């Protein structure tokens, strides 16, 4: 059991290292929905510090490290340097974290902030079908569009 857990941790650390290298290599599209790592070696301009922090926040969320994700995503919002799409994405992931942590009011508050920035913001089909945050998002969106 311990050997298996060590192997899982080793694999996770290798994955995190690879992702970090991609993020720091200057691939502007890395971590964006619908993008791929393809084109990273074609001389694209390096990501901004805000993009890197946002990518780290999303990666931390995906790894289940919610505290690191919250810190990074809140950092994206606190700097005042992020654009509207980055703010919406940060609020979306903050909402996801609150929803899965059982804090539905905070989840709804973050979705509301995202929708106030971009009233056309929607979850993708996989996200919208999630049993926890899907209904919360739809509820907030319906209240704001009335």
Residue range 47-144, CATH number:
1.25.40.10
Q: Could you tell me which residues come within 8 angstroms of residue 61 by beta carbon, excluding any fewer than 6 positions away?
A: 69, 73, 93, 96, 97
Residue range 40-88, pLDDT digits in tens: 433 344 488 889 999 999 999 999 999 999 999 999 999 888 899 999 9
What is residue 28's predicted lDDT score, i.e. its pLDDT?
42
Residue range 101-133, pLDDT digits in tens: 999 999 999 999 999 999 999 999 999 999 999
Does the predicted TM-score (pTM) go above 0.85? no
- Neighbouring C-alpha atoms within 13 Å toward the C-beta of 102: 0
Residue range 88-103, pLDDT digits in tens: 999 999 999 999 999 9
What is residue 91's predicted lDDT score, i.e. its pLDDT?
97
Domain boundaries, the chain: 47-144
């Amino acid at each position: 059991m311990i050997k298996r857990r060590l192997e899982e941790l080793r694999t996770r650390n290798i994955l995190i290292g690879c992702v970090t290298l991609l993020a720091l290599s200057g691939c502007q599209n890395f971590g964006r929905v619908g993008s791929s790592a393809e084109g990273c070696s074609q001389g694209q301009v390096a990501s901004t510090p805000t993009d890197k922090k946002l990518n780290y926040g999303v990666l931390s969320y995906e790894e289940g490290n919610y505290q690191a994700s919250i810190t990074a995503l809140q950092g994206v919002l606190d700097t005042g340097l992020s654009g509207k799409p980055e703010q919406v994405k940060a609020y979306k992931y903050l909402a996801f974290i609150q929803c899965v942590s059982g804090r539905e009011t905070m989840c709804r508050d973050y979705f509301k902030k995202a929708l106030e920035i971009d009233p056309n913001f929607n979850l993708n089909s996989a996200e919208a079908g999630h049993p926890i945050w899907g209904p919360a998002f739809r509820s907030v969106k319906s209240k704001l569009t009335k």
